[in-house]
Amino acid sequence: MPVTAPAPPRLELDHISCRFDGREVVRDVSLTVRAGEVLCLLGPSGCGKSTTLRVIAGIERQSAGAIRADGEVLSDAETHMPPEARGVGLIFQDFALFPHLSVAQNVGFGLRGPRAETRARVDELLTRVDLDGYGDKAPHMLSGGEQQRVALARALAPRPRIMLMDEPFSGLDNRLRDGIRDETLQLLKDEGTAVVLVTHEPEEAMRMADQIALMRDGEVVQKGAPYNIYHAPCDRDAAAFFSDINVIPGKVHGALTDTAFGQFLAPGVPDGTSVEIAFRPQHVKIDFDRGGRGPNPTPSDGVPARGVVKRARFMGHESLVEFVMDFDGGVVKATVPAVFLPKPGTPLWLTIRRDRCFVFAKRG
């Protein structure tokens, strides 16, 4: 049987760069998104996320590289397809509904064709976003969550092949946000739409994305599935972006780093290199039973080190305990999935899971 060539990505960014006033705000970004897949552009404010989104939409033109959709060139050195011809939907934080139009008129605003067909499409989408019977209402009569769903229905009405979303849920009440995010993504996946979502919130990216592109200073520093980026960060800053981390110093000798918590592997790092060992608070194990008598841990937990409780706080679903460590006076944070509030000044022994530690060469 003849071998069928795989379909091209729904969206492909090929070495995209973008300059404003001589400053490169997006640098050599290459990404692919397939139909029904969600890619999150994640990073701090000013890192180039929204500019990348505007370049995909055609609102800005890149200074280098090419953009393709289903193999078709949308923009390169010779071609620049206008935004309205790209088959791209846009959803922004402010929803941008027309206040003088009804809900149904908002949803059908960009549709062309026979009135019966457009009305059927509007009714279908209002049903799918649980707004049946809301067609005649004005936008100001709706809650924030309902307005978000109207904006989604309007963006989906022309059946875009690509949906671009810039912080679309940040204005919603926390109680509504999770449900509306999940409903929105399911609807987009059902439509086979490729989604590019901009966010600065790691939890949102982890919850929504099939793939995450972590951006910093205009570049993609790491990309991959949420699990892989979280458990194998490319550097200390990437690890710290997703959660609190503890950091202890060390120096490499024979591919090993000696610390108060025992030795850690540092493969490929030259001898004499100063390194930082990073680990998350949930991977710190507190010894409740031995109380300073020198516990004998399992090899996977490393060597115990003693710390004195500085403060302890209950966070609702876990307790956060901060220790001042005997070996260097530094602070190590630990989380416990229960109520655990030892008094300040209490000495306890800590170990850390070696398989959950990251060894990074110290910069500078």
Do the beta carbons of residue 214 and residue 230 sit within 8 Å? no
Tokens of 73: 């060139």
One-letter amino acid at 97 equals: L
Mean pLDDT by 10 residues, the chain (364 residues): 74 96 94 96 94 95 96 94 91 83 92 90 90 93 88 88 88 74 84 93 93 97 96 95 93 88 86 93 80 46 88 94 93 94 95 88 79
Q: What is the pLDDT of residue 1?
A: 58
Q: How many CA atoms lie within 13 A of 113 on its CB side?
A: 12
Question: Is residue 102 classed exposed, middle or buried when 0-12, 13-18 and 19+ CB atoms within 10 A define those classes?
Answer: middle
pTM: 0.86
Q: What is the pLDDT of residue 71?
A: 94
For 312, list phi and psi in degrees, rounded to 5.
-140, 135
| Rg of the chain on CA atoms, in Å | 25
Specify the 3-state DSSP secondary structure of 207: helix
Strand partners for 223: 213
80 DSSP assignment: B
Dihedral of the alpha carbons of 257, 258, 260, 265, in degrees to the nearest 10: 40
Around Cβ 296, how many Cβ atoms within 10 Å?
7
